[in-house]
Amino acid sequence: MAKELIKGNTAVAEAALRAGLEAYFGYPITPQTELLEHLSARMPEIGRPFVQAESELGAINMVYGAACTGKRVMTSSSSPGVSLMMEGLSYIAGTEVPAVLVDVVRGGPGLGNIAPAQGDYNQIVHGGGHGDYHMLVLAPASVQEAVDLTVLAFDLAEKYRHLVAVLMDGSIGQMMEPAELPPMQPMKTDIPDWAVRGTDGGEKRVLTSINLDPPAQEVMNLRLMKRWQEIEKNEVRYKGYYLDDAEYVVVGFGTAGRISLSAVRAAREKGIKVGLLRPITLAPFPNDILDELSEKAKAFLVVEMNSGQMLEDVRLVVRGRKPVEFFGRMGGVVPYPDEVLTEIKRLVDGPLTTEGHPRDRWLARLSETIG
């Protein structure tokens, strides 16, 4: 299929539909709204359910119900709306039914603004909802990747009976780029055994997340954690750029990763041996490659559009073996490649330290510029 110039949100919506999305439930919120709007026209056109819910609470619980039928279902939202969905996400995880969530992140906390940000890393990667569960988190850096990862999200959700989140920021949602959409897939016909549909005289099926017996609940927790280990083993995805001979490594995901790539290229032109590690799965996190790089590289620079949420995951792997520095913009401010280039040069020029916390050094520098 040929490439077309298409907006990120619309592309994700159309990709989901072509991947066999059988029902969509959502609530308007910028910068995600085009996704919902596109499906509000397209889904009824081809005879599939679309519901604009009364709230994100309603939307996620509609997804929960529909997911219990084993069909391909999704919702999408942006940061404040996703906060409201945390209850439902925990229940979906606790019932082990597959579902896909697209979070088009905006500036926060609170109502914040509608500019692109990555401040939802913690709420998506490290929980948000109650109890012991994980979401599998995919982070695209372009419209094409958003399309591809949306299709993958459904496959992974079904493979593991798991929640899969596509975490993108407002700029990927809003940006127009050439992308190739997937071909129209037929809808699934195989309904898994566990899915409710009416007994038709057979054994009843019950899908629930309540388990009053702690030892039995613990067995369930163990099952979830084992599944997560399997996901950690099989599903890590990342992209490395110029890593083979890299003395310095930038780590960034999504739009921050993409901007960093421009900076890395500019630095390479100046003869700096710097590479980029761009995690595509934020959960499971690409620990192994980062561990390997921690042995080879001289220093790391983590770039994010938040206050250093992924930074903590990087530090856990690097474990003080090499200096780690941080550069971030918050509140919906998108960093320029030049700013990242300056930070790369700072790494090269030193001094570098493994003492203290990179966030403190960054905040001190940032206060001087924006304080």
Partner 1 sequence: MVMADVPAKIVYERPEALDPRVTHYCPGCTHGVAHRLVAEVLDEMGETGNTIGVASVGCSVFAYNYFNIDFVEAAHGRAPAMATGIKRVYPDRTVFTYQGDGDLASIGMGEIVGAASRGEGITVIFINNANYGMTGGQMAPTTLPGQKTSSSPTGRDTKRQGYPIQTAEMLSTLEGSSYIVRRSLHSSREIRRAKQAIRTAFEVQKHGLGFSLVELLSTCPTNWGMSAAQSRDWLEERMLPYYPLGDYKVSPAVAELKK
What is the spatial distance between Cα 46 and Cα 2, in angstroms, rounded to a whole number? 22
Task: List residues binding partner 1 (CB under 8 A).
Answer: 22-23, 25, 49, 51, 53-55, 57-69, 71, 73, 87-88, 91, 95, 196-202, 204-210
What is the spatial distance between Cα 264 and Cα 98, in angstroms, rounded to a whole number? 38
Which residue lies nearer to partner 1 by CB, 196 or 272? 196
What is the spatial distance between Cα 81 and Cα 59, in angstroms, rounded to a whole number? 10
Which residue lies nearer to partner 1 by CB, 45 or 292? 45
Tell me the two tokens of residue 269. 């032109």
Q: Are 203 and 169 in contact (CB under 8 A)?
A: no
Which residue lies nearer to partner 1 by CB, 205 or 270? 205
Q: Measured from the CB of residue 270, what is the shortest distance to partner 1 in angstroms?
A: 55
**How far, CA to CA in Å, does 346 sit from each of 94, 112, 242, 278?**
46, 31, 19, 20
Q: Measured from the CB of residue 72, what is the shortest distance to partner 1 in angstroms?
A: 10
Q: Measured from the CB of residue 219, what is the shortest distance to partner 1 in angstroms?
A: 18
Tell me the two tokens of residue 138. 């995919």
Which residue lies nearer to partner 1 by CB, 84 or 348? 84
Which residue lies nearer to partner 1 by CB, 60 or 100? 60
Phi, psi for 326 (deg, rounded to 5): -130, 140
Chain centroid offset of residue 76 CA? 12
Which residue lies nearer to partner 1 by CB, 49 or 331? 49
What is the spatial distance between Cα 334 and Cα 332, in angstroms, rounded to a whole number? 6
What is the spatial distance between Cα 335 and Cα 110, in angstroms, rounded to a whole number? 22
Say which residues have a Cβ less than 8 Å from residue 17's Cβ, sequence separation at least 6: 39, 42, 43, 46, 48
Which residue lies nearer to partner 1 by CB, 204 or 233? 204
Q: Measured from the CB of residue 106, what is the shortest distance to partner 1 in angstroms?
A: 23
Q: Measured from the CB of residue 22, what is the shortest distance to partner 1 in angstroms?
A: 6
Q: Measured from the CB of residue 114, what is the shortest distance to partner 1 in angstroms?
A: 24
**How far, CA to CA in Å, does 351 sit from each of 91, 141, 324?**
48, 31, 12
Q: Measured from the CB of residue 89, what is the shortest distance to partner 1 in angstroms?
A: 11
What is the spatial distance between Cα 298 and Cα 300, in angstroms, rounded to a whole number? 7
